[in-house]
Amino acid sequence: MKNIKDMLRKKGNGGNDANKSNRSLKHVLQKNRDTLNTRTAKVGGYSFIMAVIVLIVLILANVAVSSLSSTMTQYDISASRLYSVTSSTKAVAQNLSEDVTIYWVTQEGEEDSVIEKLLDVYASLSDNITVEKKNPDIYPTFAAQYTDETVENNSLIVECGDKYRYIAYSDIYESDYSDYYTTGSVSSSFDGEGQITAAIDYVISEELPVLYLLTGHGEGDLSDTLSDSIEQANIETEEFSLLTENGVPEEADGVLIYTPTSDISEEEADLLKEYMDEGGKLFVISGPQEDDEMTNLHSVLSYYGVTAEEGIVIEGNSDNYAFGYPYVLLPELGDSEITSELSDNNSYVIAAIAQGLTIGDTSDDVTVTSLLDTTSDSFSKIDGYNISTYDKEDDDIDGAFSVAVSIEDSSSGAMMVWISSDNIMEETYVSYSSGANTDFVMNAVSWMIEETESISIRSKSLSYSYLTISTSQATVIKVFMIGLIPLLYLAYGLKDTIRRRRMS
């Protein structure tokens, strides 16, 4: 009986314990509900939800942006704007009506990043431009279809239908060694845009202008720079001789007489005048000669009222000659379509050892424009190459002169450009003028053959100026960046932590 009572008592106590447990559980749940209803909990929950939403938005945005072209997600902040293209390139790309393929010959893992980004830009400009990568390890004979040269890695081939042009990697990255022996420096430039755009323009063109080069009078070979520039402007060249021809070939879009060392014959001069009377285009680069006066050649110039003076031009104004030599002229640019871009860019053309040109009376149909002018302080030394002093002497001819002129005859349609310095395209002066000499000559060629839309995009310099500092200066910068700034942030954090603890 006693055991039964004890059992009942224990059972009653167990029930009391269960009741107590239930009350404790209800108390905990109520406390949790109260905690969740506090302002702190609500703010925390809201922050968590917003963090999840922002994370989802960022993930979706990243996926969307990654699907876009690199040209839409990257901005060109390079000093030379390596990844940007000019309006000329955009015009060529947007006017494409045929499909153009740019083959990029490069090994896997050896891709040039600058070329890669530039090709992305071209692909984004037109749906008619396709870029295909050709790995020579996989396609070892592919490039042999287009060139006999040894194909460098990262070279390009531009193709449209049956026409193509090979662009060597060494033509994209150019090096100028002209200052190496004087300053020890080599300047580099990137001509990717110029090469690619010219190649596209070439492969889509049905007919190209042809410039005929006169031979037979000791004419010099075209300089490498001029030859490359003419090719890049998609102008073809052919040689001919008036000694074996009865006149200038009909298919000639223009005639170039480049640095002759002996005079043409009277008969040849008459043929050139006849050619001009029929609307011909003539470009002459001919400076003072040591032994030959070029009487017959100059008669073609005087046919339009321009006289080539005797001797070599000496500039008396030190602001208008270079390197301390009064015969290395820095002439003033005239007002012309040929020189307007150079004037806008504040460029200087260098004309060394030039012959003075004087513009006289002309007919109403003829317009003569001076392109390069010396100052009124200039004079022509009639002793020519035998000068013994740069001072003006009694027999010398007073300036000012022109050293380059353009001529238009509205009655016949004839056009002529005459530059009186044989050295204008010499590589040294081209380099010293920062390419302005090349731009001037090519602008004149394009104007003369009326191909003003010829593609001529200047290469972009890769020469950078570096900040050179001493070891002590470097130490100060390291202490400031690595030591002082982090310590300041640490001190601010400690101060803020102590302030918060005091407030709590």
Residue 3 has pLDDT above 60, yes or no: no
Place of tokens 């942030």: 489
Cβ-defined contacts of 170-178 (< 8 Å, 24+):
171/195, 172/115, 173/462, 174/459, 176/431, 178/427, 178/428, 178/431
Nearest to 247 by CA among 222, 280, 218, 217: 280
Residue 405 has pLDDT above 70, yes or no: yes
Nearest to 445 by CA among 249, 164, 222: 222
CA distances from 197 to 107, 193, 331, 408, 474 (A): 24, 6, 32, 31, 44
DSSP sequence for 391-430 = S--TTSEE---EEEEEEEETTTTEEEEEE-BTTTT-HHHH
The average pLDDT across 306-311 equals: 94
pLDDT at 188: 75
The average pLDDT across 301-305 equals: 95
Do the domains at 78-206 and 210-454 have one common CATH topology?
no
pLDDT at 178: 52
For residue 336, the SS3 value is: coil
**Model confidence at 33, in pLDDT bands (50, 70, 90)?**
low
pLDDT at 459: 64
Please write the tens of the pLDDT for every residue from 414-463. 999 999 999 999 988 988 888 889 989 999 998 998 875 554 566 666 65
Residue 408 has pLDDT above 90, yes or no: yes
Nearest to 176 by CA among 466, 438, 445: 438
Please write the tens of the pLDDT for every residue from 122-142. 999 999 999 999 999 999 999
Distance between alpha carbon 477 and the CA centroid of its chain, in Å? Answer: 36
Higher pLDDT, 13 or 502: 502
Q: What percent of the chain has pLDDT over 90?
A: 47
**Model confidence at 154, in pLDDT bands (50, 70, 90)?**
very high
The average pLDDT across 242-260 equals: 92
Rounded to the nearest integer, the mean pLDDT of the chain is 83
pLDDT at 34: 59
Structure tokens at 287: 């400076």
CB 225 within 8 A of CB 425: yes
Higher pLDDT, 198 or 181: 198
Please write the tens of the pLDDT for every residue from 192-235. 888 898 899 889 988 889 999 999 999 999 998 899 889 888 89
Please write the tens of the pLDDT for every residue from 66-122. 555 554 555 544 545 566 777 778 888 888 889 999 999 999 999 998 899 999 999
CATH number attached to the domain at 210-454 = 3.40.50
Q: How far apart are CA 139 and CA 147, in angstroms?
A: 15
Q: How far apart are CA 172 and CA 119, in angstroms?
A: 13
**In the chain, where the domains are located:** 2-66, 78-206, 210-454, 467-504
Beta-bridge partners for 398:
379
CB atoms inside a 10 Å sphere around CB 289: 19
pLDDT at 19: 55
Residue 36 has pLDDT above 60, yes or no: no
DSSP sequence for 249-316 = -TT-SEEEEE--SSPPPHHHHHHHHHHHHTT-EEEEE----SS---HHHHHHHHTTTEEE-SSEEE--
Structure tokens at 154: 């990262």
CATH number attached to the domain at 78-206 = 3.40.30.10
pLDDT at 88: 76
Q: How far apart are CA 409 and CA 369, in angstroms?
A: 12
Nearest to 415 by CA among 450, 441, 363: 450
Let me know how long the chain is.
504
pLDDT at 501: 78
The average pLDDT across 135-157 equals: 92
pLDDT at 466: 40
pLDDT at 432: 86
